[in-house]
Structure 1
Amino acid sequence: MAFFRTVLFLILIISPTGLPQIALAQNGTIHTGEGTSTARSQQDAAIANKIRDIIRELDGYEDVTVQVRSGIVTLRGTTLELSQAEKLDDLVGRVEGVVAIENEVTMSTDVAKRLTPLVERVQTRFWQTIAFLPLLGVAAVAFAIVLWIGFFIARRRQPWDRIAPNAFIAEILRAVIRIASIVAATVVALDILGATALLSTILGAAGIIGLAIGFAVRDTVENFIASVLLSIRQPFAPNDAIEINGDEGKVIRLTSRATILLSFDGNHIRIPNATVFKARIVNYTRNPERRFAFDMGVAYGTDLAEARALAEKTLEGLPFVLAHPVVSVWTTELGGSDIGLRLTAWIDQRETGLLVARSEAIRQVLIAFEAAGIEMPEPTYRLLTTDLDAATEVEAKSAAAEILAETEVQDVAATLEQDLETIVTGEREAKQDEDLLRADAAKE
């Protein structure tokens, strides 16, 4: 008996896979491995059934077959998408007892099979759309109601006209209300449809588009922002005489893009608001008192104190010259043939024209100097051949005094400025809606 056991043991060592599995019990009996093989087959069958149950619940794996041998799973067949075949590795690998996977599934090229899912999807979506129509109608009604409420509030004149400093800012507030109502209506409609996640995508796309448009129309946006700031600050009013970067004229209007002036030659000057906002602005009208100045020259040897006093007295005696600020006359330079004097005086430009006042002042001072015998030499040489006797000189002074006494001050009304104001007023009345300036607005 011991010899027989030794022979069997040697056979198992030499060829362990060539004979059925044999187990030696402690009591000396020998058992074959047929029970172990049966258990493995049952386990493989269980794995195969479990995998079949899984892929049976998924779409697209109807043609896939499963074979399991010793824990090794072999998959064969076709799917409509290559990605579906690749997902099988992950699905099968999660099943307990799987040792390895041989995925031989390929993508189907059958036209009928590939078109069938498309037709089914179209039909499914069509019926889903039909079923969705009542909800879509409710969302559309909600969208219209919210939008109507927002636009109704935006159309009201109050409180926007009271809150905003001018009509332009009030219109901007109304535009903001309209945009907010559109966004609110969209959110409500998407919430009813259960598609609020789509809102972030829409807003993101709108932001990108807005950024691109902003770069494309940067100058226009800059002018628009400048018009908002100018309409709030109100650095000038309609009909003001101003100077912007060397351009002078009367203000016609301020639009959302440009400031329009009427030059003293009668031409329209359109200046972009971005330039106006950054430019040096001289407003000649804001202060009603305005100074005019001119230069005159007297000969060497003239009593400068007497000449200054006479010039000041002459200017102060003009009816259109203001008493305050006072008239000023001073010496400016010593020229080649004369001594220069600068004469200044102030007028109320609401009643007096600057240019005509300056012209009349020059004429009156010139007459006064000639009557007083104050010489205003020309830059030329003159040859005197005879001397005037005393009687002739007295007679000449008497005649000059008579001329001075008979000379009346001419009219210096601001006719040019009034004519320009009439033109500006007419143009403003023709296009009232496009003006951002208000006469009653606060001035900076």
Structure 2
Amino acid sequence: MVELVLRSRRAITGGGECAAAVAIEGGTIVAVGGYDDVFDTEVDTDLGETALLPGLVDTHVHVNEPGRTEWEGFASATRAAAAGGVTVIVDMPLNSLPPTVDVPSLRVKQEAARGKTFVDVGFWGGAVPGNLSELPGLHDAGVFGFKAFLADSGVPEFPPLSSDELRAALSSLRRAQFVVHAEDPRHLGDLSSAATYAEFLASRPVEAEHAAVATAVDAARATGGRVHILHLSAATALPLIAAARAEGLPVTAETCPHYLALDAGHIPDGATEFKCCPPIRDAANADLLWQALADGLITCVVSDHSPCTPELKRRDTGDFAAAWGGIASVQLGLPVIWTAARARGHSLADVAEWMARRPADLVGLRDRGRIEVGAQADLVAFDPEETFVVEPVRLHHKNPVTPYAGKKLAGVVRTTWLRGHAVTGDTARGRFLTRKDA
């Protein structure tokens, strides 16, 4: 007897897309059989042509609670995640107050989240000037690694590291994963105002990313530390990452849906909902990011869900210089990527690899992001043929601001299961995850 069986003619398993039946007991996948296999169960759900995907793992989410909960919170962010097929998020250490730069601040954040999470939640720690001695304690407390900025983060309580400070941090904890916002301030423009997207884009040129990626790679080479480049936007930095990988350095990179699916050439002036840092670039740049993703040079696609209040987006003035930089997309990443990936000839199995298995592997969660025996029963029923138009009022994140408003996307999440339980948004079954779970 098993608790639940889910059948799909389009299940995404380790072998790719196939017809399969997935048996679940105690929150774990206990069998992956043929579509017509018989199991002793009281609940046997046939999804037919609706695809069955592993739950997505989003390792780049800014929840902002406590301290800036008017921007976002654990309840709203994890409801949005579940609605988008995401079953694990890893929360970034900044934009909350206090930032997660020591063990007491981690405990404050966990207490703020307690009882409010509809999916499982892990945490990144922060590496900032002066907290080097706090990193071992945070690591032992279970954060999945440490985020560092090489340029201004946008909030004063989370200042950037110099190149020497980055090396010192990597040297202090060679076993830890460091994730780096790679923009070099020496190449960033200082805008007092920017009414056009072109002005904003020119202020954050590809040279800023290229130089910062080079700094991060040099730090990995000098220390042996593990470095992951966050939200890569500039394709010109890809050869640096390829050379580091060929050298055997522990350097990886991610990108985001907005860099793959949006085009700077089609962003209207004053449309500050498109502002993020690093910025969305042109279609030719996106083509190169797609190729790097297909080649495995870019390992995963995550949201960089970074919301704020509508007022902070300065939609009233359309001033890109004054607007907060961030795109809220944790609920929309799967259909955004599937819409663009399908048009380029990629498969659902590719999307699951980029958005589920590989992000899980980045943080060492080897029982997440996959449909196989022994994995957690975190699953998604996804209709890849159905389309919908994005209506901001239907999104679950706290403030309905999105650059995808009005866009027609392919792929609808029908049901998300967390450890075999359907996530309805009524019962908060999410757990805190730590590095010790990996």
TM range (shorter): under 0.3
The normalised TM-score by structure 2 is: 0.18
Query: Which is greater in Rg?
Result: 1
Bigger relative contact order, structure 1 or 2 (CA pairs below 8 A, ≥6 apart): 2
The normalised TM-score by structure 1 is: 0.18
